[in-house]
Structure 1
Amino acid sequence: MPLAVTRSIVRPSGTTIRFLFGRNLLGQSGRKEKCVWMGHGTFVATTARQYQSSSDVAGAIAAAKAAASAVMAAQRQVAAAKHAALEEQSFASSKEAEAAHAAHRSEEAARIARAHALQAAQAAVHAQAQLASAKARAAAAQRIAAAREAAAARAIQRAAENQAAKLQSADLEALKLSVLQSSGAAGAASAAQHAASAAAAALKPWNPSWNGWNPGYAASKGPWSWS
């Protein structure tokens, strides 16, 4: 590749300007630019009549410098825009990470809340089961107590009935004994009275007026009994 290439531009006035394009013309190392030749300070722009003055060359050089400055400014703006874009991207990434972390925390909190709710429900079910078991035990204890009370009442009733039967039997026996004793005493008294009457009659002198058995007298003396 040649170190420099000449190009020509024809102005409307008829002036022909030749530009020399080549490598390292702006003094920037390692880059290849297309610009007006600056190596010797001037270059020739010829016309059919005469050479132009060096002021045109200076204007072109100034324009090239301005263009280079504009390019550099644009590059700086591009770099700043890239930097701002990177910062925005980093900020967005951090916000996204924060949102993801917050979502993870929220999900973890929801999971913990669900676990606590499940534990509470299980505890409630267990408490209800314990309450039902306690009620069943209390009902069974009440039934057992009622059965024992009924058995005790029956036992007391049987004992009372037995005692009443014993007392009634004892009363009957006592009554029988009393009747027997009363009958024996009455018989003994009648026999004693009869014996006394007989003794009195034997001791009494004989009365010829007594004429045998007198039913009225016997009836007035009461019933006779023999032992």
Structure 2
Amino acid sequence: MRVVHKEQSEITMDYVNLPDASARGLASNSRSGEHGKMTSAASGRKLYRLVAVSFGLLCILQAALNISLRLALYSSGSKTTGTEANCKNLTEETDELKRKLIDFDHYFKEGWVYFHPSLYYISSIKKTWQESRDDCHQRDADLVIINSKEEQDFTRKFHKLTWIGLTKRETIWKWVDGTQLTKSYWSPGEPNGYEGKTEDCVEIRFHDKENSWNDIPCKDQNFWICEKMVSL
């Protein structure tokens, strides 16, 4: 009886101490429900944040795309405008070059010779210095002004006694444009006023030498060289 009672008591006590199955189930269900609610709320907040961030990124991308398109259109428009302007300038330059070539052809037919940066006309008859200059004026030019060694060498190639645009004015040698003589190519002993003559005009005489200038009376007759400045 003791054994049975003890066993029953232990059984009863063990049984009493054990949680009720339904209670366990209810507790379990309650905790599960609360956990589910907490999980659902957390998931909802995360989803909301994800949507908000995604929407923000989408707005930023849209704005960047709009800016890129506007810049592309502006750049394209600028390039087009620049290209049109360049084409217009090129056309104008081509037309101007054509006009100059036509003018050059006209000068060449009249006997002018080109030596950068001018055109030169060498006469086939003789006149006094002033008459020679007047002829140059009629050709919209003037007697040659020699500004460099290269031009000096060029004018010696014609092997004619030719007037150049250099005269003495009030004891000072000046070019026809009014500038004073600085660099000269006088032949040795020149200018000299040979035999007491008034030699106020200059000719190219000694063609085989770089220093080829000689002063003679302006009333003498010579060939002459006209110079006309041009630009290409």
Larger strand proportion, structure 1 or 2?
A: 2
Q: Which has the larger radius of gyration?
A: 1
Determine which structure has greater relative contact order: mean sequence separation of CA pairs < 8 Å that are 6+ residues apart, divided by chain length.
2
When normalised by structure 2's length, the TM-score is 0.39
